[in-house]
Amino acid sequence: MDHSNDNARTPNPKDRLAVALDLPDALQAFDLVNRLGDTCRWFKVGMELYYAAGNSFVQQLRDRGFNVFLDLKLHDIPNTVAGAVRSATQAGASLLTVHASGGFAMLSAAAEAAAIPGAPRLLAVTVLTSMDANELSGIGVAGTPAQQVLRLAKLAQAAGIDGMVCSAEEVNTLRTEMGSQTMLVIPGIRPAGAATQDQRRIATPATAIVQGASMLVVGRPITRAADPAAAASAILEEIAQASASPRLRA
């Protein structure tokens, strides 16, 4: 798959949606994968499932023809993170997250470890979508989430990482500041009328796409739907329609 996600062309909607398999074990995860059928191409495997099922689960998804977004939010000393990137490469992940707040040396080590054939494309997590200004203040970060997101995104880009995870509130600014080649992955996506749950900075699929998102991550609105395949199809249709709209400018 071409990871450039260049907004100069219109990608297939299935390449712009990752379904979050936020489930406790491989059995439940594969049950959902089977219910989705060929609706989706990308699955996000986060810490809960990865710690339960490990690399073998990632490899099984790959063997079935799916792309895997391994969302481990690596944040450790540079040498340890570099080793984790190499392990993810062996598992066959196509995308892998690291925390931008780990600093320049850690991000650079991760980027160097990913500069080999077959390595996953790295995404730097900026500010979690569950955090707002009060949460940031509580950990000593002054300013708004948008300011912190831009600060960390520029740090990650300088360290050699050209993909970011941010909320839909910041995607328009990052797309303008960082150009069309930067991959911007947006969690906290909720279709109109869906419950927000524990997310603070959210948006509909159409809003995020029009503002410049490369890929959307959707969990509970699909995984907890009575008909997950139908829910995914509705989001894919919304992505397709929004992809034909002009992007909003900052």
Active-site residues, by number, are 73
Exposed/middle/buried for 9, CB within 10 Å: 0-12, 13-18, 19+? exposed
- The residue to which tokens 């996506």 are assigned: 189
Q: How far apart are CA 184 and CA 168, in angstroms?
A: 10
Give me the residue label for tokens 């986060």.
Answer: 46
Amino acid at residue number 159:
A
How far apart (Å, rounded) are the C-alpha atoms in residues 29 and 173? 35
Residues 6+ apart with CB under 8 A from 133: 143, 144, 145
